[in-house]
Structure 1
Amino acid sequence: MNIGERLKEERVRLGFNQADFAAFAGVAKTSQFNYEKGDRSPDAAYLAAVAEKGVDVLYVVTGERKPLSSTCMTPDASDFFAVYQLVSEADRDVLFRTAQAFAKARG
């Protein structure tokens, strides 16, 4: 998987379409398309902007996920994450979609 494919994966994971993602990153939709297609590479300002929206920039650039630190999580989040790691992949998908729905309802 290349940078563009991982960038698209992160955009989809966060629930954004290309136009919205491009807008908050400060680029045109065509630039976003070109980044995801692999025809162009995003610059540091773009990566900083998408990081503010939750993109794991380390993953986008290197293919390795940023390690989660229990010190940056509340005790409830840490407990939830511990349970999340114990369930099947299918159940993880359900938990993730449920959390996304709650987050969008709050937003």
Structure 2
Amino acid sequence: MHLLNFGERLREERTRLGLNQGELATVAEVSKTTQFNYEKGERSPDAPYLAKVAAAGVDVLYVLTGCRATANEAGLSADESEVLNHYRSMPEGDRVAIRRMTAALAESTANSANKKSL
């Protein structure tokens, strides 16, 4: 089994987010060549780069270590954490579909509750 290296994991995360190299480079405020070199393993990014790509949705823990970050935000139940972690691992197109679905379900639930209160 081939374990992905840093550059491969960075490329995987960029692809998961639906970004091309130029788009992630813009987010991270580096040149496209620098982004290319990070993904090829020819250069290593600094902390400001990692902070910027993390803010864009890159799982930096995964990129650095190969282990996915888990949600353990205060106040989340185990079920909520699990759903959030699944959501974070999806490509953006799937995330859009999930947001539409949950919005429709929430609206349906609200409508049902309003009918019951009448």
Do these two structures clear the TM 0.5 threshold for a shared fold by scoring above it?
Answer: yes
8 A Cα contact 2:18 2:92, kept in partner: no
Map of 1:89 onto structure 2: none
CA distance in 1, matches of 2:96, 2:54: 18
> 1:1-107 to 2 correspondence within 5 Å?
1-69=4-72, 71=74, 78=80, 81=83, 97-100=93-96
Paired AA for residue 7 in structure 1: L
8 A Cα contact 1:70 1:78, kept in partner: no
8 A Cα contact 1:24 1:49, kept in partner: yes
CA distance in 2, matches of 1:48, 1:65: 16
- Contiguous gaps of at least 5 residues in structure 2: 100-118
Could you list the structure 1 runs, at least 4 aligned residues long, displaced by more than 6 angstroms after superposition.
none
8 A Cα contact 1:59 1:66, kept in partner: yes
Paired AA for residue 18 in structure 1: Q
Deviations along 1:13-64, whole A, 9 cap, x unmatched? 0110100100110100000000001111111110000000011111110111
8 A Cα contact 2:59 2:69, kept in partner: yes
Identical positions, percent: 50
Paired AA for residue 40 in structure 2: K
Return the offset for 1:78: 2.1
| Greater Cα radius of gyration, structure 1 or 2 | 2
Return the offset for 1:100: 3.9
CA distance in 1, matches of 2:37, 2:26: 14
The number of aligned residues is 92
